[in-house]
Chain A
Amino acid sequence: MEKREERAVEEGAAAAAGGGEAEAAAEAEAEVNPWEVSGKIDYDKLIDKFGCQRLDQSLIDRVQRLTSRAPHVFLRRGVFFAHRDFNEILDAYERGDKFYLYTGRGPSSEALHLGHLIPFMFTKYLQDAFKVPLVIQLTDDEKCMWKNISVEESQRLARENAKDIIACGFDVTRTFIFSDFDYVGGAFYKNMVKVAKCVTYNKVVGIFGFTGEDHIGKVSFPPVQAVPSFPSSFPHLFNGKDHLRCLIPCAIDQDPYFRMTRDVAPRLGYHKPALIESSFFPALQGDTGKMSASDPNSAIYVTDSAKDIKDKINRYAFTGGQDTKEKQRLYGANLEVDIPVKYLSFFLEDDDELEHIKTEYGSGRMLTFDVKKRLTEILVEIVERHRRARAAVTDEMVDAFMAVRPLPSMFG
């Protein structure tokens, strides 16, 4: 028991006890946890602080070899940059042991922006490349508790968000979407209780920062997000496959939940879930945080028209370009802070073109106007494709994705 405790403390050390000190020492005061992301984020420090691993080129090459296709643009550009045990997932895959994917969304608003779509776009790629099943958790209960919206409203938002998620192109024969309010119970709840028994109140306060004023709903929520990592939570899908591994693509602010889960898993006799984590999609106005659903001009929404997108990029995108054309030609742009170039690195698939733009813009031969124009084109294409796909999603399709049903060809 003691040894495991030590290891657990090791893994989560920086965040739990040591977290406070480290933060006080850092001058930037960046805050990263599941409910708040702010300040200028140093991803290297974050990896150290959280204790996860950098996703290096060798892993990316390995993915390419195993899947016989080009690695996703997010891997090539370092959007998904950190992981825990991803190499073990790949080892097992090579041996013929498959895995399943688990990701989720907290349905707090109807308006989805591009930042929300990123984990889903990447998960779709993983599903197609590795040919594995996927469970998607809609944490309507969490939002009901944290955002103080009614149960009915959170359920409604969950269904609406499900449509946007489906529009990302998931395969219904390999995907199970569920909302907590609908699904919690049975085997899932049994696992929740097992997990809860392994985590002390003090531990959960240490990881999530709860105080005496927080209601007990919040305190008992973490197991809900933890147990989809265990295949026995889905008896209709993985009956008898207790040793199936789980890979969780998520944004790095979700790491605390899964540190806790990984700590508990061996005690319950399960594999620790593996994680593959992404950085934050920067807000239009700059590097200091992530896109927020409450500020319409900080993000490009999937409901924005082509004109809206053009206006937002032109008016609100923070650029590293110089003030005047002459200065731009002389000094070039500051690529470190330039948002259009950052966005292009997420969404411009062609590596050569991106390099070209970076060199030309950085040296001043290309103007901010041109970069913004190219970005607008690409974003409009993405948003329109999403809109077309979403228009084809019916309520019945949502029911089909959310039905508790077996998926016979999920590994095919």
Chain B
Amino acid sequence: MGYTKDQLLARLQELRIEFSKYEHPVVLTVEAQAKHVGNVGASLSKNLFLKDKKQRFYIVSALADTKVDLKVLSQRLGLGKGGLRMAPEEALGEILQVPLGCVTPFALVNESARHVSLLLDQGFKSQQGCLFHPLSNDTSISLNTLSLDKFLKSIGRDPSYVDLEANPKVGKDQPPDLAALVPSDSIVLPEFAEGAPPSEHSNENHAATDVKPKAVKAKAVKTPAVAEKIRDDTVSQHGEQLGAVVSDTLRKRLSSELKNLAIMFKNTAYTEGFHAGTHHQPKRP
């Protein structure tokens, strides 16, 4: 369930974050928004919801007149020249849980947006206040970057301010300067052919995941390796034995991981003892 505007505003008040609230008719564009809150002494923001070729999502939040070049940004993030494009409308609802025309940094309060990366315009910092939608198009709130940062930190986010107009060279010796802002996880949207894994794949994994205990870190033991085993030919080869073969493989890997862990523990314990031994003060006579 996505946060509502009221829930968000209540949260801001709980955190004692200062902001000014302005209500107005529903607006879908910055121009429309400007007509209502253009003169309140705060700067308008434009907010882009973007995605890259690997199903990773980004919110770019900038001052309305900052020039944002998606090609440059794409290179700076290390995504190549055409790596970034506007996210599809459906993603807005699924991931950010906000209506059309309402992209805002505050959408990150939703669990569904936890892997969305946020890029904030450096220009915000010099403004008295900046205007954002608090999850609804019929309201705008203005707050300064200190307050915005306070909010972001409260949801476990590290605010990243970027000079969005900069165009540094990206090449062999100059790594993309914004590469650190690329999310580590992609977001798979269930309904869409693009993002969905093929259905047979998920069936194959099903059998394996039942067998695999939670103790093993998901990244360490990749299910594709197990899925590999459960191919048509191995099914015919092993027949009923397939279950035993697969669990045997898993058991071997787990056993080797366990042995590695055990050695690490042993070495660590010995080191502690060694340190204690070399630093202990002799008994007083």
Residue in B222, B267, B274, B278 whose beta carbon sits within 8 Å of that of A166 in the complex: B267
Q: A374-B228, A377-B222, A381-B222 are in contact. Are A389 and B271 (CB under 8 A)?
A: no
- Which candidate, B58-66, B67-75, B139-147, B258-266, is the interface stretch facing chain A? B258-266
Interface string of B250-274 (1 = CB under 8 A from A): 0010000101100110111011001
Given known A171-B263, A172-B266, A389-B264, contact A384–B220 (CB-CB < 8 A): yes
Q: Could you mark each residue 161-173 of chain A with 1 if its beta carbon is under 8 Å from any beta carbon of chain B, else 0?
A: 0000010011111
The interface residues of chain B, by DSSP majority, are classed as helix
Cβ of B35 under 8 Å from chain A: no
Select one of B225, B266, B274 contacting A396, CB under 8 A. Answer: B274
Chain A residues closer than 8 Å to B214, beta-carbon distance = none
* Interface: B224 (CB within 8 A): yes
Q: State whether the Cβ of B219 lies closer than 8 Å to any Cβ in chain A.
A: yes
- Contact between A172 and B267 (Cβ–Cβ < 8 Å)? yes
Proximity string of chain A (246-286) to chain B, C-beta cutoff 8 Å, 1 when within and 0 when not = 00000000000000000000000000000000000000000
Interface membership of A394, Cβ < 8 A: yes
Residues of B within 8 A of A203 (CB): none
Q: Which of B233, B252, B260, B278 contacts A389 (CB 8 A)?
A: B260
A125→B261 CA distance, assembly (Å): 16
Contact B268 A397 (CB under 8 A): yes
Inside 8 A of A396's CB, which chain B residues have their CB? 271, 274-275
Given contacts A350-B249, A389-B264, A396-B275, contact A172 B270 (CB under 8 A): yes
Number of interface residues of B (CB under 8 A): 22
Instruction: Tell me how far the C-beta of A172 lies from the nearest C-beta in chain B, rounded to whole angstroms.
Output: 5
With contacts A171-B266, A173-B266, A377-B225 known, is A385 near B260, CB below 8 A?
A: yes
8 A Cβ contacts from A166-190 to B: 166, 169-173
Rounded to whole angstroms, the CA-CA distance of A171 and B269 in the bound complex is 12
A95 to B222, CA, bound (A): 44
> B272: nearest residue on chain A (CB-CB)?
A396
* Shortest beta-carbon distance from A132 to chain B in Å: 16
Nearest chain-A residue to B275 (Cβ)? A396
Collect the chain A residues with CB atoms within 8 Å of residue B266's CB.
171-173
CB distance from B76 to the nearest CB of A (A): 17
A window 131-177: CB within 8 A of B:
166, 169-173
A205 at the interface (CB under 8 A from B): no
Within 8 A of B (CB), among A315-362: 349-350, 353, 356
B residues 204-239 touching A (CB-CB < 8 Å): 219-220, 222, 224-225, 228, 233
A399: CB under 8 A from chain B? Answer: yes
Q: What's the minimum C-beta distance from B280 to chain A, rounded to whole angstroms?
A: 15
Which residues in A have their C-beta under 8 angstroms from that of B274? Answer: 396, 399-400, 403, 405
A-B contact pairs, 10 of them (CB 8 A): A166-B267, A169-B259, A170-B263, A171-B267, A172-B266, A172-B270, A353-B228, A384-B220, A392-B264, A400-B275
